[in-house]
């Protein structure tokens, strides 16, 4: 699927650059253009992609200090300029705009939903948001920001692909130590997903082609989506890889999703990547059927993606996912953090309706 990427905020800019680099290094050609937008000038200096500083008059290039309401206001005020900068990258071949943002910071969590709304108002192609949830130990303000942003962006985007910072992090590693690894994992897995919808991305032809329409249809229910990934060594004989494909798919869904413990969904897509001669169609079909049973969805698509690797990799994309215990726990932490912040300010706790976080706007 040919996409144009726009990173909003510090985390969004870094992940966008890694995605663009991965796509370029692999020669996939799925990323048609990439741009980073921020209110903090220092965060843009080390990026090699096109950048845009917003909010210069209000925050003088120093960022919004974690204030996502201010981040949303600045993006709303300057959305026209941002979209003008993006238009040069939106060729007629682009099939989606993907906004990438950390949902805990001020500029990303506020700016991403505001930009998604404006882009959807102007463009006919889907507008997706890759939203990165803060880890458990990233601080109360990040939890509160992400809770409000999650609700708002899930409403404004055509689909919100959620990634929990704790999900793709090595056990025992601090979050600070793991940021680079997390960003690399996001880039690899999203990069493979986008490339799997590109028939021209590789020289070899898949036996059962996954095209961009299948990714778009999987994300069509809107709301939240998650991506699962796992890989394993594969035999040179496809007939011997039936079990490898099914077990790898199980691991991708049950232990390798971008938000843990999410299995119920309206739609699904299985992509099995590897050398074509190693991929068993019987294994792919068995794994696809298992995903239907596990998710309760009768709309699970499946196919393979030729990749020069001696391993078998399984990507599982779920659309219209149900809130899991992990998401409920996160929203409870966000609510408590927001209440504590209001207590510190001496404000009334009116940001909740029916014990839920209010939208940003």
Q: Residue 335's pLDDT is what? A: 84
CATH number at residue 117: 3.40.50.1440
Answer yes or no: do 164 and 232 share one domain: no
Q: Residue 278's pLDDT is what? A: 95
Does residue 343 lie within any of the structural domains?
no
Query: Averaged over 336-346, what is the pLDDT?
Result: 67
Answer yes or no: do 169 and 243 share one domain: no
Pair type for strands 356-357 and 352-353: antiparallel
Of residues 339 and 43, more confidence is placed in: 43
Where a domain ends, among 305, 321, 337? 321
Q: Residue 91's pLDDT is what? A: 86
Answer yes or no: do 101 and 190 share one domain: yes
Residue 22 has pLDDT above 60, yes or no: yes
Task: Give counts: helices (H), strands (E), the chain.
Answer: 11, 12
Does residue 273 lie within any of the structural domains?
yes
Q: Residue 330's pLDDT is what? A: 80
> Where does residue 77 fall: left (phi above 0), alpha (psi -120 to 50 degrees), or beta otherwise?
alpha
Render pLDDT for 119-153 as a digit per residue (tens, 0 to 9).
999 999 999 999 999 988 888 889 989 988 998 99
Write the CA distances from 97 to 6, 90, 337, integer angstroms.
8, 8, 32
Range of the domain at 246: 227-321
Angstrom distance (rounded) from CA 10 to CA 231: 30
Point out the least confidently predicted range of 96-110, 145-159, 189-203.
Answer: 189-203
Answer yes or no: do 11 and 103 share one domain: yes
Of residues 225 and 138, more confidence is placed in: 225
Answer yes or no: do 124 and 21 share one domain: yes
Q: Residue 176's pLDDT is what? A: 67
Answer yes or no: do 15 and 157 share one domain: yes
Does residue 206 lie within any of the structural domains?
no
Answer yes or no: do 59 and 162 share one domain: yes
Angstrom distance (rounded) from CA 158 to CA 220: 7
Q: Residue 327's pLDDT is what? A: 82
Answer yes or no: do 24 and 151 share one domain: yes
Does residue 214 lie within any of the structural domains?
no
Does residue 147 lie within any of the structural domains?
yes
Does residue 123 lie within any of the structural domains?
yes
Answer yes or no: do 142 and 286 share one domain: no
Render pLDDT for 36-58 as a digit per residue (tens, 0 to 9).
999 999 999 999 999 999 999 99
* Cβ pair 36, 49 in contact under 8 A: yes
Is the pTM value of this prediction over 0.95?
no
With 0-12 CB in 10 A as exposed, 13-18 as middle and 19+ as buried, what is 164? buried
Answer yes or no: do 28 and 167 share one domain: yes
Query: Averaged over 221-232, what is the pLDDT?
Result: 96
Of residues 264 and 169, more confidence is placed in: 264
Could you identify the residue written with the tokens 């077990």?
Answer: 247
Does residue 354 lie within any of the structural domains?
no
Binned at pLDDT 50, 70 and 90, residue 336 comes out as: confident
Residue 83 has pLDDT above 70, yes or no: yes
Does residue 330 lie within any of the structural domains?
no
User: Domains in the chain: how many in total?
Assistant: 2
CATH number at residue 301: 3.30.1330.20
Question: Does residue 239 sit in helix, strand or coil?
Answer: helix
* Cβ pair 14, 183 in contact under 8 A: yes
Answer yes or no: do 117 and 154 share one domain: yes
* Cβ pair 142, 105 in contact under 8 A: yes
Average pLDDT, the chain: 89
Answer yes or no: do 130 and 254 share one domain: no
- In 275-328, which ranges are E strands? 300-306, 311-321
């Amino acid at each position: 699927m040919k996409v144009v990427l726009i990173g909003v905020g510090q985390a969004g800019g870094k992940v966008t650059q890694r995605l663009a680099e991965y796509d370029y290094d692999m020669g996939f050609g799925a990323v048609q253009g990439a741009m980073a937008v921020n209110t903090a000038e220092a965060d843009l200096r080390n990026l090699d992609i096109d950048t845009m500083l917003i909010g210069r008059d209000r925050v003088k290039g120093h960022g919004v200090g974690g204030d996502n309401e201010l981040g949303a206001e600045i993006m709303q005020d300057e959305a026209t300029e941002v979209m003008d900068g993006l238009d040069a990258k939106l060729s007629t071949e682009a099939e989606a705009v993907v906004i990438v943002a950390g949902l805990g910071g001020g500029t990303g969590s506020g700016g991403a939903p505001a930009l998604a709304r404006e882009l959807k108002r102007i463009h006919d192609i889907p507008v997706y948001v890759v939203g990165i949830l803060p880890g458990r130990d990233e601080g109360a303000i990040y939890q509160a920001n992400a809770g409000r942003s999650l609700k708002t962006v899930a409403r404004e985007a055509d689909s919100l692909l959620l990634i929990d910072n704790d999900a793709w992090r090595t056990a025992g590693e601090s979050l600070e130590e793991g940021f680079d690894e997390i960003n690399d994992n996001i880039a690899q897995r999203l990069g493979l997903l986008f490339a799997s919808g590109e028939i021209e991305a590789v020289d070899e032809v898949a036996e059962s082609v996954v095209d961009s329409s299948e990714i778009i249809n999987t994300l069509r229910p809107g709301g939240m989506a998650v991506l699962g990934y796992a890989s394993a060594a594969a035999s040179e004989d496809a007939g011997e890889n039936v079990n490898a494909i099914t077990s790898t798919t199980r691991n991708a869904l049950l232990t390798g999703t971008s938000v843990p413990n999410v299995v119920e969904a309206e739609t699904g897509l299985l992509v099995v990547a590897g050398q074509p001669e190693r991929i068993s169609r019987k294994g792919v079909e068995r794994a696809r059927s298992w995903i239907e049973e596990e998710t309760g969805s009768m709309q699970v698509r499946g196919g393979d993606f030729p990749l020069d690797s001696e391993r078998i990799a399984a990507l599982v994309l779920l659309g219209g996912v149900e809130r899991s215990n992990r998401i409920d726990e996160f929203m409870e932490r966000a609510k408590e953090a927001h209440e504590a912040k209001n207590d510190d300010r001496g404000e009334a706790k009116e940001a909740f309706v029916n014990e839920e976080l209010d939208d940003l706007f």
